[in-house]
Amino acid sequence: MHTAHNQAIGEATGKIILMGEHAVVYGEPSLAIPFPKATIQTTVTQSTGPVTVDCIYHKGLLSTAPEHLANLVTVVDVSLKALKQELKNFSLHIISSIPAERGMGSSAAVAVATVRALYNYFDEPLSHDQLLELVNVSEVIAHGNTSGLDAAMTSGETPLYYIKGQPFVPFSLSIDAYLVVGDTGVKGQTREAVGSIAALMKSNPKETSQDIHRLGELADKAKIAIEHNQPVELGKLMHQAHLILTKLGVSNEQLNHLVEAALNAGALGAKLTGGGRGGCMIALAENEAAAREIAHALSDTGTSNTWVYHLGGGSIE
Ligand code: PMV
């Protein structure tokens, strides 16, 4: 039996889907990257009595946490069972800069950070596969089905190419460009957006499957553009993807305004990211100065937050 530390920390990052959202549901490829500019940290501290949690959504007993913290409650439960430990005598403190329900993977990230913190606290080794298993089991219990993309992205450091049902394929982010991320400040509506495409698939199957397939082709081309350091080409592909996603009804006015503002401010391309109808958009900039200009234009147009991220060296500013 290992003795617990007095305190232990676990961390995770956000994620951004570059290309292939929605199409991935229908077996087409997608590209996603870890987003280390938005992070989450869970601290486990020794205490006595029932487990408490301190985060922006809840301060008090874990057992009385609100419904939208179901994933946290579940991941703690699943992890303690695996660790053969009891649900008592520690507190959880969670600090996050990943906005919730914006397609940045905050739910999986809180689970990743918490599993890591608990394993550190109880001084047990944790393999990457074990971590993914625990996070995915909790995500399925708390949210229903999941592709596993968020768990993989928020726990790793590698960009991934993903086709449903196939292993994740790491790819190299060898593109010298900047990504600007704009948060509409409004929760994304992934479930509704996925449902509306499913409805289109029924009412207009031929055209909808063509559009979905085209999104997959764009994701494949984007991977090649990234690997060959072709920012201008990548920007064009992103723009085309946004137009198709809009046609499929998963964008909204606010996202379209931000995309337009980014293009007017000199972006090489811009699109929504994730489920859409709220959440975040991304824009590609050829250099840092251009990225800052785009970020300003986005703030002026109405974002709750913007991030500028250097894709090339994977460096964090
Ligand atoms: O909004 P997010 O980051 O959960 O992304 C949803 C991605 C979709 O392709 C729209 C749905 C899915 O399950 O892959």
Ligand 1 pocket test target in 31, 136, 190 with most atoms within 8 Å of CB: 190
Ramachandran assignment for 90, one of left (phi > 0), alpha (psi -120 to 50 degrees), beta (any other) = beta
CA atoms in the 13 A half-sphere facing the CB of 87 = 13
194 lines ligand 1 (CB under 6 A): yes
Ligand 1: distance of its center to the CA of 189 in Å?
A: 10
113 confidence band (pLDDT: 50, 70, 90)? very high
pTM of the predicted structure, to 2 decimals: 0.93
Q: Measured from the CB, is residue 47 less than 6 Å from ligand 1?
A: no
CATH fit for domain 7-170, picks 3.30.230.10, 1.20.58.1290, 3.40.640.10, 3.40.50.620: 3.30.230.10
Average the pLDDT over each of 62-71, 116-125, 287-296 and give the range with the smallest value: 62-71
- Our answer on whether the CB atom of 147 is closer than 6 Å to any ligand 1 atom is yes
- Partnered with residue 7 across adjacent β-strands are 45
* Whether pLDDT at 3 is above 60: no
Boundaries of every domain in the chain? 7-170, 178-310
More confidently predicted of 209 and 145 = 209
> Is pLDDT above 70 for 315?
no
Segment 65-101, tens digit of pLDDT: 999 899 999 999 999 999 999 999 999 999 999 999 9
Percent share of the chain, pLDDT over 90? 89
Given a cut of 80, whether residue 102 has pLDDT beyond it is yes
The band of 176, judged by pLDDT with boundaries at 50, 70 and 90, is very high
Ligand 1 proximity of 25 Cβ (cutoff 6 Å): yes
The arithmetic mean of pLDDT across residues 17-41, rounded, is: 96
For residue 303, the tally of other CB atoms under 10 A from its CB is 22
Which of 10-14, 57-61, 103-107 shows the lowest mean pLDDT across its residues? Answer: 103-107
State the closest ligand 1 atom to the C-alpha of 164, by its place in the atom list counted from 1. 14
Q: Output the pLDDT for position 314.
A: 47
Instruction: Tell me the C-alpha to C-alpha distance, in Å, between residue 71 and each of 66, 105, 186, 297.
Output: 11, 12, 21, 36
* CATH 3.30.70.890 for the 178-310 domain, yes or no: yes
